[in-house]
């Protein structure tokens, strides 16, 4: 397959992951039992002292990390889409795909260790497409 197929796959999966992940900001967590109710209460209301006068709950920390993941995916997808549409030389786009491959490869390792199936699949697809784009770009420029 040609590199353009893998490049399109990369930015499509990145943008889709960012959009899908952003939907989590509009879903209210409803506890299924008393233990979950207690856990959500603590996560939402107990504020830890983070130093420098900053007090945050686990829910607030979770939202900040979640927002960063969404922005990470949307930014990566937008950059690759822009560069691809501008038809820059593949010798310039290839290093960007390598950086993308490394960043999402590390992200995939973190997801495999700490997350659940949907983000593992999403990051896996992004990583595979980035890696294949990087590999096929070299073959097509030689």
Instruction: Write the pLDDT tens digit of every residue in 110-135.
Output: 999 999 999 999 999 999 999 999 99
Q: Is 126 exposed, middle or buried (0-12, 13-18, 19+ CB in 10 A)?
A: buried
Residues 59 and 44: beta-carbon distance below 8 Å:
yes
Q: Interior CA angle at 102 toward 4 and 85, to 5°?
A: 30
Inter-residue contact 90 to 140 (CB < 8 Å): yes
- Give per-residue pLDDT as tens, 74-108: 999 999 999 999 999 999 999 999 999 999 999 99
pTM of this structure: 0.89
Residue 100: the pLDDT is 97
User: What are residue 2's phi and psi, to 5 degrees?
Assistant: -80, 160
User: Could you tell me how many helices (H) and strands (E) the chain has, helices first?
Assistant: 5, 2
Q: What is the pLDDT of residues 18-53, one digit of tens each?
A: 999 999 888 888 899 999 999 999 999 999 999 999
pLDDT at 87: 93
Rounded mean pLDDT of 59-77?
A: 94
> 142 pLDDT exceeds 80?
no
Length of the chain: 142
| Gyration radius of the chain over CA positions | 19
pLDDT, position 29 = 85
The whole-number average pLDDT for the span 52-77 is 94
The answer, yes or no, to whether residue 61 has pLDDT greater than 60, is yes
The whole-angstrom separation of Cα 96 and Cα 75 is: 13
Residue 141: its pLDDT value, please? 62
């Amino acid at each position: 397959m040609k590199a353009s197929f893998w490049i399109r796959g990369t930015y499509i999966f990145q943008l889709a992951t960012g959009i899908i992940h952003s939907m989590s900001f509009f879903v209210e967590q409803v506890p299924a039992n008393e233990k979950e109710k207690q856990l959500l209460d603590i996560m939402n209301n107990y504020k830890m002292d983070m130093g420098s006068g900053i007090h945050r709950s686990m829910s607030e920390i979770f939202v900040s990390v979640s927002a960063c993941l969404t922005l990470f995916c949307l930014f990566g997808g937008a950059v690759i889409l822009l560069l691809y549409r501008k038809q820059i030389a593949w010798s310039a786009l290839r290093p960007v795909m390598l950086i993308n491959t490394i960043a999402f490869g590390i992200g995939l390792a973190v997801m495999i260790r700490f997350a659940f199936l949907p983000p593992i699949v999403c990051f896996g697809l992004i990583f595979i497409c980035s890696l294949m784009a990087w590999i096929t770009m070299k073959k097509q420029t030689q």
